[in-house]
Structure 1
Amino acid sequence: MSTPRQRGPGRPRRVPVEEQRALVLRAARRAFADQGLQGATIEQIARGAGLTRQAVYEQFGDKTALFAQTVAELEELAFRTIAARGSGDADLGLRSWARKNYASMFDFVAAHPEALPVLQEAERAGIPALTRLRSRLAEVYTAASRERWATHGIESGRADTALVAMYFAMTEALVNLSWPGAAPDREAVIDLLTEFTVGGIARLYSHRPDVLARLR
């Protein structure tokens, strides 16, 4: 009785184009976040994606084009995620809403650790994606915060634009801060941001209303 012949390994599965793009973009995020635009290479990105350099070139052209696409996708991801949380929960009061949104920024960075470094690298490379993201989110947050300040009898006017800019700047600075020794509890940092913002503006309104008036 003859023994059935074993089949040799088949040809490698051809990865669909859209899957290739997703693999390359995922590897590109890591490479650009870790190495920067100048340090990252197509070879490194291809290896991280499990593809050939030729496949990367066919999908994206050169490294500059791949970087621009990576930045664009991260900008949109950040906007969709953060804007959705900032514009929701109409029933939340000012302090709860502010705290939720500080927490959302920390959550986003934890879920997408490459996003902020890549967007910051884009700014250094002359692509104002982070500046543009802040401006787009400011429109969403300004409208939402103005409604909540009004329930406290505070007409913030154009001060809201400055407050939203401060909100993002403080959160970006703290979310990846290198602390001496062990980092403090995340919830404590979020509470600090919340009380500093809400309590500070309420105090400003009661003690120095002229400051807000000059921004209206």
Structure 2
Amino acid sequence: MLGAARRVFAEHGPRAGTIEQIARAAGVSRQAVYDRFRDRATLVDAVVREIGEEAFAAIGAPAARWADPDLRAWTRANYAAMFTFVAEHPEAMPLLQEAERTGDPALTRLRGRLAEVYAKAVRARFAAHGVRTGGGDRALVAMYFAMTEALVGLADGGDAAEREAFIDLLTEFTVGGVLRLYEHAPGVLDRLRGQET
């Protein structure tokens, strides 16, 4: 039923997709949907939470486990994980974004969970290059999400070569940009929160 709901909500939007459409797509009765989910709002919430968990498992968990200390390799792997997730689940980001627009901070929750993983890993990997991110680690993560979400949208439906080019662009922009910033304006990251973390 959740899979059917995801397809219906992706096609019609969470506010327009009906229980009738979901029941038909799942091959069950409307009553079966109501028996499992007491109303449409509960079903929408379940779909959004499932997507959030899948996204975290696909994007965040590998980032935490990645043992290779190489900064560029780690950064590229994380960008690639986001692009892969979106390519394999094209309904996910639009549904999370729609949930956010309608008052459920689903995307904000996901970003927050991923930020915890990334901030720690970013701090450690940049430190190996002599860069102290200070209070800037969360700002770097926020920039990561903004850039990735924008380029994932541009690459949607594009070919694999274009996705690879976007991943390379993001990797070099992120790593090269931070290293250059630290070389030419070393206090900027520390001043973002006025203290080191």
Same fold flag (TM > 0.5): yes
Aligned to 1:168: 145
When normalised by structure 2's length, the TM-score is 0.92
Identical pairs, percent: 61
Q: Secondary structure at the match of 1:141?
A: helix
Could you tell me which of 127, 141, 149 is aligned with 1:150?
127
1:7-36 CA-to-partner distances (Å, cap 9, x unmatched) read: xxxxxxxxxxxxxxxxx1001111112211
State the 4+ residue runs in structure 1 displaced beyond 6 angstroms: none
Shift of 1:178: 6.6
Aligned to 1:130: 107
Contact 2:9–2:17 (Cα < 8 Å) also in 1: yes
| Distance in 1 of aligned mates of 2:14 and 2:111 | 22
| Distance in 1 of aligned mates of 2:141 and 2:155 | 24
In structure 2, relative to structure 1, the CA distance for the partners of 1:85 and 1:116 (3 Å cut) is same
When normalised by structure 1's length, the TM-score is 0.84
Aligned to 1:83: 60
Q: Which has the higher helix share?
A: 2
Note the residue ranges of structure 1 that are not aligned, 5 or more in a row.
1-23
In structure 2, relative to structure 1, the CA distance for the partners of 1:98 and 1:178 (3 Å cut) is closer
Q: Write the mapping of 1:1-216 to structure 2, written as runs, cut at 5 A.
A: 24-177=1-154, 185-215=162-192, 216=196
1:150-209 CA-to-partner distances (Å, cap 9, x unmatched) read: 110001011010101111111111112278xx6661111100000110000110011111
1:122-172 CA-to-partner distances (Å, cap 9, x unmatched) read: 101101011011011100111111110011000101101010111111111
RMSD, aligned CA: 1.7
Note the residue ranges of structure 2 that are not aligned, 5 or more in a row.
none
Letter matched to residue 88 of structure 2: A
Letter matched to residue 48 of structure 2: V
Query: Quick check: which has more Rg, 1 or 2?
Result: 1
